[in-house]
Amino acid sequence: MPKPIYVLSGPNLNLLGTREPEIYGHQTLEDVRKACEARAASLGREVVFRQSNHEGELIDWIQEARDKASALVINPAGYGHTSIAILDALKAAGVPVVECHLSNPAAREPFRRRTYVALAATGVVSGFGLASYELAVEAAAGLTR
């Protein structure tokens, strides 16, 4: 089996399912984890699923992915719109990157229209709720068959 697909989620996504369900849905991050694991298993793959509220911890995991992962799926949350450090880490990771978002940031406030992460991503999946993660895992698996 190829190396696992790292699925990383950024700040505040631990709150999923508890607030703003009209934007982010009713499902929890644990539901998202299970869905990603199931989609990966259906493709003969594994995921390493992690969430952090800390930029440096996300960067440590992105650096770790260079040796331990075949591809990276990342929902950078708010950091996508602000973090050049995460962009730099992704560019150095040496594995394909798929960016995903639960909502469609392009249809929201103007400050969400650009993400730095997209500059390092092969593609972006946005607006499908939990399915954005499943589709991103599938895309990442397809990039690293």
Binding site for ligand CA2 (CB under 6 A): 12-13, 15-16, 19-20, 24, 75, 77-78, 101-103, 105, 112
22 and 48 Cβ atoms separated by less than 8 Å:
no
CB of 133 to ligand CA2, least distance (A): 9
CB of 71 to ligand CA2, least distance (A): 19
CB of 67 to ligand CA2, least distance (A): 27
Q: Which of 24, 79, 116, 133 is catalytic?
A: 24
Cross-sheet strand order for the sheet of 123-126: 47-51, 5-9, 71-75, 97-101, 123-126
Kindly tell me which of 71 and 73 has the beta carbon lying closer to ligand CA2: 73
Kindly tell me which of 48 and 79 has the beta carbon lying closer to ligand CA2: 79
List all residues 6 or more positions away from 124 whose beta carbon is below 8 Å from its beta carbon.
Answer: 98, 99, 100, 101, 115, 118
Six token digits for residue 48: 């390493």
